[in-house]
Every structure is written in C-alpha cells, then in structure tokens.
Amino acid sequence: MPKSDTLQKRKPAPRLGLPAPRLGLLDGLRITAAVVVVLYHYTAWGHNFWGQYAPDAWPVLSVATRYGQIGVQLFFLISGFVILMSLQGKSVIQFIGSRVGRLYPAYWVAVLAAALLSFVIWPSIADGRAPSDILPNLTMMQTAFEVRHLDGVYWTLWVELRFYILLGVMLLCGLITNKSIMLLSVLWPALGLYLHFTSYAKLQEWIAGPYAALFAAGMVLYLIYRSGHSVLRWLAVAFNTVIAAYFTGFKGSEDALQLSNMHVPAWHFQLLIVLCVGLLALCTLTPLKHVQAKWLAVAGSLTFPLYLFHQLWGWWIIEQLHGQVNKYLLLAGTIAVLMLWSYAVVRFIENPLGLLLRNGTIAGLTKAKAAVRIVFAKPDVAIPESKYRQSWPQSR
C-alpha cells in the first residue's frame, strides 16, 4: 500500500539552477532603454538649454520622446530578471561583492564629475546643492539621509539598491527557491498596492512599492525561462503587469504634465508597460534567446555609465553649443560623445577597478565573517594545535 501523505518526507523546495548563458538581446534591451531615457531628457524634458523650451525646439521628435521615461520602468523589469539570474550559485558575500564591484566604480566617478560640473564649471545647475552633499551621494544611499541627488538620475539607484538588499536577505535565509520567489512576486507588489490606498505612504516608499511589480514580473519571467511554463507563473506575470501598468500610468501622465507641460493619457504608458513585458518575454522565452553578438555585449556594457553621465553633462554640452551647431548634429554628436565616454569608463574604470573592488569586498567580508565566528565560538571547543599552526600563516 502507498504510504500516507503525512508519513512521506517532504522534498526540499528546489533551488534555482546555476547561472545561465548570457542573453544577447537583453543587452540590446538595456542599451535601448538607456537611449530612450537620453532622448527624453534631451528633447522632451522641460528645460531651456536649446535656447528655448526643449519640446518647442523639437516639436515633432518630442511627440515620441515624451514617452522616454518608460525606459526607467524597462530597466527595473530587466533587473528583476537579470539580478535573480546573476545570483544563482553565489553566496551572500559573493553577491554583495559582485554588486559593489559592478556599481560603485562608475558611480563614484559620476558623482565626482557631477560635483565638478555643478560647483566649478556650471554653478547655475547646482540649484541649491552644496559640496557637503558629495560624501552622502558617494554612498548611493543619500535618499535615506534626506540629501539631494547631485544628478537627478540617481533616484533609480536607490530603488535598485532596496531590491538588491531584499534578494540578499532572502539569499542569506536560503529562500532563493522557485516557491519563495513566487511568493515574493505576489506579496511584495500586493503590499505596495495596498499601501498606496492607505495613509502609509512613507512605508510604501521604503519598500519601493510603486516599482515592486516591475521587479516581480522580471523575476517570474526568469522562473519561466529557467524552470518552464506553468499557468500559475503566467498568472503571476499578468498580475504584476496589471499592477505595474497602474502605477506607471498615473505616474507617467503626472510627470509628463509637471516636467514637460504635456498632456499624455495614462493609458498610453499602461500600454507601453504591457509592451515592455512582452519584449522581455520575447527576448528570453523564444528562439530569440539564442541570439549572440559581441557588439550587443559591448553595447549593453555602456548602459550604466551612459545613464549616469548623460543628463547633466549632455545638458551642459547642449547649452554651450546650441547657438553654434545645427541642432540635429548637436543632438547626435552629444549622444556620440557620451557613448564614447561611457566606453572609456567601462574600459579604464569599471573593468579594472570593478574587479579589484569585488575581490576586495569578498575578501574583507569573508575575514569579517571568520572573525565573528571566532568571537561567538563556544569557549569549551578547543582548536587542535596542528590546525592552528597550519592556518596561522594564511590568517596573517
């Protein structure tokens, strides 16, 4: 007779697998999202660096680029997929090291460059910021200290950082499993939606509630990519797409009015969110996932530095040259210059310093973990002298 269900041992929840091969078209999506944001800030954002109001300087192009803020939502969606994929097979210390090495070298250079531009070269752009804001900005956690960003684009990094912390805690607790990620992908966005309709706005901000569904949709698409299709997983994708569309719709419409003086219906942005989810699924769940090209990897690597540097420095170039250079050449040339600069940052800063910072972080945290173990070790447990002598030269 078969054993009773109550007597059968439960199998442990399956852990997600080892890191997957690089997906070429994800790099293509990332650089596309960055360029879309760049065009939005240059031609549809409400500034006068073209010698006139930007949407007026670009009356035709801005009709399309006014939707460029959707690039940020696409970033978050891709992050949900990529970060969950990248932590497979890693310990918590390795995950922290990889994130520190990946983010901080280019970010520190960007902060110092923004400070140079704002406080020395172009003081009028400082807008009340002070040199005392530099140090908090270097932590990437300036929002937690209620310090203004030296460059407005940094706001997305604080959102991303909270997502990394959340996954890091889950990794520490051994909860990077299909079941746990599915639960997170439902409960986190649902909590964000609930808090949106309550008076706990500050709590919603701290848990990144308005963006939770974007990360969650990306994570569930990764589960489908890694572990296969199921009705439950696709229902979770649909659930998060609806919530993400809701938040993006009213925020996009509100930002278009406040930042660009444009009236854009919320449903336009909602439709774009559905399109973004569809694009991510198309690039990762169909035969297109096999597309590989070196130039895509190179283009994808430019995404982060391009995003960090493009706004203030691009505006400065435009403000300096708009009266002397044809606007089409100036727009294309500014983007080209920032692309070349981004490549230089990747080649000479991110790659060498990122590796050193990653390895140093991992080594430092590993030593700290060993020290904590020694401090809290049971006093009645003796260490054999032979082991002590063998480990002593390495511990020095």
Residue of 307, 361, 312, 354 whose CA lies nearest to 103: 354
**What is the model's pLDDT at position 120?**
98
**What is the model's pLDDT at position 8?**
36
Residue of 275, 188, 284, 180 whose CA lies nearest to 239: 188
**What is the model's pLDDT at position 16?**
56
**What is the model's pLDDT at position 376?**
79
**What is the model's pLDDT at position 263?**
93
**What is the model's pLDDT at position 51?**
96
pTM of this prediction exceeds 0.85: yes
**pLDDT block averages, 10 residues each, the chain of length 396:** 38 49 91 98 96 96 96 97 94 96 97 98 95 97 94 96 96 95 97 90 88 98 97 98 97 93 95 98 97 94 98 98 97 98 97 96 94 75 46 37
Distances (CA, A) of 180 to 130, 253, 358: 44, 34, 28
**What is the model's pLDDT at position 346?**
97
**What is the model's pLDDT at position 106?**
98
